[in-house]
Each structure stands twice: as C-alpha cells, then as structure tokens.
C-alpha cells in the first residue's frame, strides 16, 4: 500500500472545456457528440454506466450496466426483472444514470422515470446476444444467494442442454428505458473550476439549459 495520504491524492483536469457558444441546445445532441468522441478516442467500455435506484426502505443502491440504445425516447439497458434493481424499479420507477469517461475527464448524469421496453424490443435484442449470454439469462436468478459457483455453472449446463442453440428469451429478462427529465454534462477544469451544464425538462415541452456552479 502506498504511503501517500489519501488527502494528498489530487488530479488537475486540463483536457477540455464546455464553452457556452459550443454546447448543444438539446441534451441528446450533446450526448451523441460526447458518446461519439468516447468511441473515437477508444475509451475503455464507453457504454458502461452506473444505475442508481431506491429500495422500498428508501435506501439507494448502484450497479454498473451497459447502455444498449438511446434516442429521443430515452436510454435503454437490459437485465433480469427479478434482480434487486428490477424489484426496486417495480416499487419506485425512477433512476439516475452516470457515465464516467475518466480518459476524457468527463461525466454525464441523467435522471428520470423508468419503464419496461416492449416485449418485441426485448426479443429482438435478446437474439443478438452471444449464445452463452442467452443461456446465462436463464441460469442466473440474479441477486439471489447461492452456495458456490458450481451451482450457477451446473444450471448453465442444464439450460444449455435443454435449449441447444435457440434459447428463447426468459419472461423475467428484458429491457428498461429511462425517460430523461434531467441531464448534466461535467467537464473537469483546472483549479476545480469545473464546467457543469444542466438541462431540465419544462412543462411546456422544452429543455431549459443552464450553467451550474462547480
């Protein structure tokens, strides 16, 4: 372990800026631009995002997932509906997402309500997954305790034999779509004077853009 005190760990952010005359008028346009740059710059797992939900007891929880689609309707990911996050979304259908592209010194935060995508959308995406991933969706009762790894390996083998090369989508597995009503784009700057641009959805059906103090 390093002898450097945690209080001495600091980084100066120097890579970019968000200029008022350059920022997009709508958040989806800004996100498309930043996501494309993350892909172009070969950021490791640019599609990885943290999802935060709230349980029935009011306690928040987070986990990493992968974005699989985004458009004017919202942000889409897929998971087990019976998982902890699935159960929490059933009770409180709201979530917050965060992308942290360390190499670009950028963060994107998105908040909004959450709904399940259609069965047709879930079926279509499920068929694009590698076979092992489709079998895994059947084998894993996500978030449930198991006695050892052998349990999940045995279940994967069982479902592999049962379904062969064409496993159907499990009824407990599918997509969620977050419908954004808040976006925030953070760009690290020197002296901790970071750029923060927020977009808030208004009752008249437009986005209000504003710069936030760092």
CATH of the domain at 104: 2.30.110.10
In a domain, 7, yes or no: no
Are 120 and 159 part of one and the same domain? no
Average pLDDT over residues 24-44: 97
Q: pTM here? A: 0.93
Specify the pLDDT at position 13: 86
Are 93 and 113 part of one and the same domain? yes
In a domain, 10, yes or no: no
97, 106 in Cβ contact below 8 A? Answer: no
Whether the per-residue pLDDT at 161 is higher than 60: the answer is yes
In a domain, 5, yes or no: no
**Domain boundaries, position 147:** 128-168
Are 157 and 68 part of one and the same domain? no
Which range (40-49, 68-77, 122-131, 137-146) has the least confidence?
Answer: 137-146
Whether the per-residue pLDDT at 11 is higher than 90: the answer is no
Kindly state the percentage of the chain with pLDDT values over 90: 89
16, 106 in Cβ contact below 8 A? Answer: yes
Whether the per-residue pLDDT at 1 is higher than 70: the answer is no
On whether 186 is known to bind a ligand per the annotation, the reply is yes
Are 119 and 156 part of one and the same domain? no
Are 189 and 90 part of one and the same domain? yes
Task: Give the separation between CA 94 and CA 110, rounded to whole angstroms.
Answer: 11
Specify the pLDDT at position 12: 84
In a domain, 1, yes or no: no
Kindly state the percentage of the chain with pLDDT values over 70: 99
On whether 193 is known to bind a ligand per the annotation, the reply is yes
Are 112 and 188 part of one and the same domain? yes
Mean pLDDT in the chain? 95
Closest CA to 48 of 113, 103, 9: 103
Contacts (Cβ under 8 Å, ≥6 apart) of 37: 104
Give yes or no: 189 in active site: no
Specify the pLDDT at position 22: 93
Task: Give the separation between CA 109 and CA 182, rounded to whole angstroms.
Answer: 8
Average pLDDT over residues 90-102: 97
Are 153 and 183 part of one and the same domain? no
On whether 84 is known to bind a ligand per the annotation, the reply is yes
Residue 87, both tokens: 């159960």
What are the distances in angstroms from CA 212 to CA 20, 21, 126, 181? Answer: 12, 16, 40, 17
In a domain, 62, yes or no: yes
Specify the pLDDT at position 144: 87
Task: Give the separation between CA 202 and CA 184, rounded to whole angstroms.
Answer: 15
On whether 196 is known to bind a ligand per the annotation, the reply is yes
Confidence band of 6 (pLDDT split at 50, 70, 90): confident
On whether 172 is known to bind a ligand per the annotation, the reply is no
Specify the pLDDT at position 2: 66
Are 114 and 54 part of one and the same domain? yes
3-class secondary structure, 206: coil
Measured in whole angstroms, the distance separating CA 148 from the mean position of its chain's CA atoms is: 28
Are 58 and 155 part of one and the same domain? no
Catalytic residue among 192, 200, 208, 211: 192
Number of domains in the chain: 2
Average pLDDT over residues 42-48: 97
Are 117 and 153 part of one and the same domain? no
Are 112 and 138 part of one and the same domain? no
- Angle in degrees, CA 75, 48, 21, rounded to 5: 65
On whether 62 is known to bind a ligand per the annotation, the reply is no
Residue 85, both tokens: 């996050």
Specify the pLDDT at position 195: 97
């Amino acid at each position: 372990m390093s002898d450097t005190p945690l209080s001495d760990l600091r980084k100066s952010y120097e890579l970019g800026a968000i200029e008022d005359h350059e920022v997009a008028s709508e958040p989806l346009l800004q996100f498309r631009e930043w996501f494309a740059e993350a892909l172009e710059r070969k950021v490791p797992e640019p599609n990885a995002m943290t999802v935060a939900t709230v349980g029935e007891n009011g306690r928040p929880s987070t986990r990493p997932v992968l974005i699989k689609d985004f458009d004017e309707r919202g942000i889409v990911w897929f998971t087990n509906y019976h998982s902890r996050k699935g159960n929490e979304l059933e009770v409180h259908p709201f979530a917050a997402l965060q992308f942290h592209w360390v190499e670009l010194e950028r963060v994107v935060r998105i908040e909004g309500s959450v709904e399940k995508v259609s069965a047709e959308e879930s079926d279509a995406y499920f068929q694009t997954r590698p076979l092992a991933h489709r079998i895994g969706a059947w084998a894993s009762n996500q978030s449930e305790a198991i006695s050892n790894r052998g349990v999940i390996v045995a279940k994967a083998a069982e479902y592999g034999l049962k379904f062969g090369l064409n496993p159907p989508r499990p009824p407990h597995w599918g997509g969620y779509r977050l419908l954004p009503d808040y976006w925030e784009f953070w760009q690290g700057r020197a002296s901790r004077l970071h750029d923060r641009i927020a977009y808030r959805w208004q009752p008249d059906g437009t986005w209000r853009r504003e710069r936030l103090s760092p």
